[in-house]
Amino acid sequence: MEQSEEKVPENQERGILLMDNWPGYDLDLFTYPQHYYGDLECVLIPHGIIVDRIERLAKDIMKDIGYHDILVLCVLKGGYKFCADLVEHLKNISRNSDRFVSMKVDFIRLKSYKVTFVYVQIALSNFLLFAKDVVGTGRTMRALLSSIEKYKPNMVKVASLLVKRTARSDSFRPDYAGFEIPDVFVVGYALDYNEYFRDLNHICVINEHGKEKYRI
């Protein structure tokens, strides 16, 4: 299946753009868990492309932060694989350069837009980086950013693997975006549907059969 530049153009500020008419890749071209056979529509983003894109995000982040230490706050649950790969790339860049950047990782979960942070870590951090799986409407990230204002961190940035184009968006944009995708329900790479599909390496579009099969 051909991938034309018109369907997937690149833009530094918005990440890799997957247009609304992007058909994805045929499932038969990839391996994935057999228990999901019949539940997926297509592979939207293959695992290898995801990992390569995250490596580039890590380079962009390291270029921006200078010598500042980093506190990475992973937004659970869907962001854990993105965060793990991003942190590993950040560490590799630090190890292979003439500068050492101290890096700490913490995890947060959002419930009803209320978050409890560890004040000491945030207050002492020169660079605070949120690692999130998907930015959709933007309300979640605005709530998170509002929650940390009282801790007065020196610098705050948001990295999101995916940005979803949706009419419900409040125009929030992360500082670092991996891919901008259409308003479709995606699973895989730790993104779930009722806790299923987190073990899928590729980012895929779930079909109606899959939604019905795993509906609660």
pLDDT digits (tens, 9 = 90+) for 36-79: 999 999 999 999 999 999 999 999 999 888 767 888 999 888 99
Residue 91 belongs to a domain? yes
Residue 14 belongs to a domain? no
CATH code, domain carrying 134: 3.40.50.2020
Q: What is the pLDDT of residue 113?
A: 47
Residue 175 belongs to a domain? yes
- Looking at per-residue pLDDT, the higher value among 11 and 127 belongs to 127
Residue 59 belongs to a domain? yes
Residue 157 belongs to a domain? yes
Q: What is the pLDDT of residue 164?
A: 94
Per-residue pLDDT at 6 exceeds 80: no
Identify the domain containing residue 59 by its residue range.
21-213
Residue 6 belongs to a domain? no
Q: What is the pLDDT of residue 126?
A: 67
Q: What is the pLDDT of residue 87?
A: 96
Q: What is the pLDDT of residue 108?
A: 85
Residues in the chain: 216
- For residue 132, which of 169, 179, 92 has the smallest C-alpha distance? 179
Q: What is the pLDDT of residue 114?
A: 53
Q: What is the pLDDT of residue 5?
A: 37
Q: What is the pLDDT of residue 10?
A: 47
pLDDT digits (tens, 9 = 90+) for 80-89: 999 999 999 9
Per-residue pLDDT at 90 exceeds 60: yes
Percentage with pLDDT > 70 across the chain: 86
What rounded mean pLDDT belongs to the chain? 86
Average pLDDT over residues 102-130: 69
Residue 11 belongs to a domain? no
Per-residue pLDDT at 2 exceeds 50: no
Q: How confident is the model at residue 7 (pLDDT cuts 50, 70, 90)?
A: very low
Q: What is the number of structural domains in the chain?
A: 1
Residue 4 belongs to a domain? no
Q: How confident is the model at residue 196 (pLDDT cuts 50, 70, 90)?
A: very high
- Looking at per-residue pLDDT, the higher value among 164 and 66 belongs to 164
Per-residue pLDDT at 20 exceeds 90: yes
